[in-house]
Structure 1
Amino acid sequence: MLLPIPWECDQVDQIRDAVVQVYDEFQQGIEPDACVARMPRAEEQGADGAAVLRSASSQGGRARHRGGAAFHAPGDWDALIAAFREHKLISGEIKPSTWHRVYRHHMNHVLGAVAVAAPPQNAKQLLEALARIWADKPGGRTRQIQIQSTAALLRWAVAERRLGEDWEPPQDLSVFVGRSRAAKAITTPLEVEHTLALVRAIPDARWRFAFQLMAAYGLRPEELQHLQIRQGRLWCTYEKVASRGKTRPRVLRMLPCDDWADGWRLEERFPTQELPPMQPGLGGGYVGHYLMNRPLWKELRREYEAKGEKLVPYSCRHGYAHRAHVICDLPPKVVAAAMGHSVQTHLAAYSRWCGDDVVDDAFAKAELRLGQGLRAQSSAA
């Protein structure tokens, strides 16, 4: 490929502008040969040839900077999303199963939003188009994930100079997520008596064992597929990737207050007891589907909802955390390590259950401990 400009010292400006033009148009998907073919020959340029090239180059640069025109076509958005997926996986931010389970669905909505007669021309228009998909569910979790994942795509594309600055999404996405008009039910810890009743009511031995594991060790449903015996103890090898980092394998510990689970002999049974088959990355869906078909689970859900609470598979895990703090008096740092997440995540998730009754109980226990300590010191003196 040769530029139609003499390789002379007095042509430096023209050569520079021509190279910039080729670069800009290549970023828009135009092959360099095609770009050069459209340039005027040296004999056609005349005295103002440099100005012609600078004008073409600046127009291409503005088009790219103004709205990322190269990605208005759905095919180009396909390539952009594929590159974004590769970045997320290579960087370790997410696992392939997370892309398949969460991002893929929302990226398909992005492709649908740009594959219209008048596609969005900037970040605001795209986010507004996606928000309209769930216009009847302001503040909903699915709508929130759609907006957040799309914003992440756009920020990455702008940072990589694949889209122009008009595609930079705002930091505050609340206007696109919306605000729910309904009061949000709080997912609630499962009470011990309900845990035991559900164990008795589950007819399938495989699912009963799975439920016992979740209740006794505070497991995420997905973690049922990542258990193994190491040196006679039950371990979870699941690595959850989140914004605060990746969880590490951990030994599973039953709470000192949960003597009701001693008779289950979970570690002893694990090598031979079969668990229900589940597809990797979809453990939560499998557990939720099974429980929703259990009559007692449906009945308990109605009871919890009547109190403004919400019963979900994670309620087993919530119950573990609640007992660890309220009954066992374990500090957040210890409980977070036992459950396989950061202290920040733990506090954000479980501080919501710290009502006045919990605070009063904690103060009463602290007063009792201090009183016993002072009496012991007095006796020693």
Structure 2
Amino acid sequence: MQLIGRIYQIVATGQQTVKGALQTVVDGSDTMKTGTNWSSAVDGLRAELMNGRNEILPATWKSNYQQYMEEALRILDGPNPPHDGHGLLQRTLERWKGKAASRAACCIAIRNLTDHAMARHHAAACWTITAPIVKNLRGKTSEKRTKATLSDSEMLYLIEGVDRRNPGWANVLRALALFGLRPIELQHLVPKPDDQGVLRMWCSYRKNCGGQLTAPRWLLPAPLHMASGERQDWNITGAMVAGLLEIPEGRDGGFRVLNGHYVEQFLRIQPEWKELKAIYTARGNGCGLTPSGTVTACGATSEGWKWERSPPPWATAWRSMPAATGGHQRQPLLRRLKRPSLPEGMDKPRGTAMDVDSGSAP
């Protein structure tokens, strides 16, 4: 009755027809309007994911949602926009044809968007994206490939080759291999004495796992061994304290922004990487070497390589040291590697840090 009354009042003025008055009333109602402000829905979803649920980081939004949101908004604001969730997902996926991993991520992102729009922005039920819709539109999943795991000798061969051309990048690889780090943890390393007064490496990074944060931890080094059995004692902790650890720099002289994309770009052009990849590809059953293979020896991957927000504390301290103490100079690591040769046979693959004699803390 209220709807009829409002329409009557508008028509009675003689300024609109019944059809025009009906459209005016619908457009002015939060519960009856047919259009959805999708830009507001995207903003609302971002706020909900970053401030609630799992409290994702801006970097996670950028890598897992942003490109799909931008494509969906382009389609919705363009000519002949879709009128339901099936159409929106179908047209958004067209941009990532033949890219199984990206299509899977796109399905998750767009489904989250339409669910949020219906729950918080009065979108109609026709925007629902069901599991069968996702299954039908996503396409085939990518074929799983066995990742290669580098032996100690192969890892040393790669690091030494990189070291001759770029010592800073070689130190990144050394730290990841020695401590079994996630790349993002590089910015959270702090050398400090433990309860017994022994100088060790502390990692303050707390990974978000289903809304729960992992605990900070002391790192246990797992030194690599050459084919001869000689152990490589990289005193990375001591090098940080002394200001002798060279790290990658950007073009502006500041700290290089590192993430999985840049790491992949860097490794793919290294001759040692190409050589190892060719060996593993020829060695067996479609087993290929991917950038994550460089550090899967210690259980980490290359995703998330970057300084987020600010450089790590040890890097800032190294920057501020005067030249007399070794700060901000091209200094060698405390102990240089001997040049290892690429083994013809496979060494025993490295396990986790707990599978290898960790020795004493550096």
TM-score by length of 1: 0.63
Q: In 2, are the aligned partners of 1:101 and 1:281 still within 8 Å (CA)?
A: no
1:275 aligned partner? 247
Question: In the alignment, is residue 153 of structure 1 matched against residue 113 of structure 2?
Answer: yes
Aligned-pair CA distance for 1:247: 3.4
Question: Partner of 1:264 in structure 2?
Answer: 234
State the partner residue of 2:175: 213
Gapped runs of 5+ residues in structure 1? Answer: 1-13, 22-35, 46-51, 331-381
Q: Is 1:70 matched up with 2:35? A: yes
Q: Secondary structure at the match of 2:355?
A: coil
Could you say which residue in structure 2 is the equivalent of 1:116? Answer: 78
Opposite residue 174 of structure 1, the aligned amino acid is K
Identity among equivalent pairs (%): 24
Q: Say whether 1:313 aligns with 2:291.
A: yes
The alignment partner of 2:246 has SS state of: coil
Alignment of 1:169-208 (within 5 A): 169-172=129-132, 173-180=134-141, 183-202=143-162, 203=164, 204-208=166-170
1:246 aligns with 2:213: yes
Inter-partner Cα distance in structure 2 for 1:42 and 1:320:
72
Letter in 1 for 2:44: A
Count, aligned residues:
280
The RMSD of aligned alpha carbons is 3.7
**How far 1:241 sits from its partner (Å)?**
3.3
Rounded Cα–Cα distance in structure 2 between residues aligned with 1:197 and 1:171: 47
8 Å contact 2:298–2:351 — kept in the other structure?
yes
2-structure distance, mates of 1:164, 1:145: 24
Distance 2:274 2:95 in 1: 30
Q: Helix, strand or coil: the match of 2:95?
A: helix
Q: 1:245 to 1:150 in 2, by over 3 A?
A: farther
Q: How big is each residue's C-alpha offset from its partner over 1:99-146, in whole Å with a ceiling of 9 and x where there is no partner?
A: 233322121111122123211111111111122222334xx1112111
> How far apart in 2 are the matches of 1:162 and 1:281?
40
Tell me if the contact between 2:145 and 2:287 (Cα under 8 Å) persists in the aligned partners. yes
Match of 2:9 in 1: 41
Alignment partner, residue 67 of structure 2: 105
Per the alignment, do residues 241 and 113 of structure 1 end up closer, same or farther by CA in structure 2, a change over 3 Å counting?
farther
User: Which of 280, 303, 326 is residue 304 of structure 1 equivalent to?
Assistant: 280
- Which residue number in structure 2 is paired with residue 136 of structure 1? 98
Q: Could you say which residue in structure 2 is the equivalent of 1:82? A: 43
Change over 3 Å in CA distance of 1:328–1:294 after alignment to 2: same
User: Which structure has the highest helix share of the two?
Assistant: 1
Distance in 1, matches of 2:57 and 2:77, equals 28
Return closer, same or farther for 1:56/1:329 CA change in 2, 3 Å cut-off. Answer: farther
Displacement, 1:297? Answer: 0.6
Q: 1:163 aligns with which of 106, 110, 123?
A: 123
Counterpart among 285, 292, 302 of residue 268 in structure 2: 292
Q: Does the 8 A contact of 2:178 with 2:224 survive in 1?
A: no
Using the TM superposition, give the Cα deviation of residue 198 of structure 1 relative to its aligned residue in structure 2, in angstroms.
Answer: 0.9
- Aligned partner of 1:5 in structure 2 is none
Which runs of 5 or more residues in structure 2 are unaligned?
194-198, 300-348, 358-362
Matching residue of 2:327: none
**Is the 8 Å Cα contact of residues 128 and 176 (structure 1) preserved in structure 2?**
yes
4+ residue runs over 4 A deviation: 42-45, 63-66, 256-262, 278-282
Kindly indicate whether structure 1 or structure 2 has the higher relative contact order, using CA contacts under 8 Å at least 6 residues apart: 2
Give CA deviations for 1:201-247 in whole Å, capped at 9, x if unaligned. 11222111110111112222232232222322212233333546433
* Pair 1:197–1:290, CA change in 2 (3 A): same
Is contact 2:31-2:122 (8 Å) kept? no
Measure the CA separation in 1 of the matches of 2:170 and 2:157: 11
- Residue 149 of structure 1 aligns to a residue whose secondary structure is helix
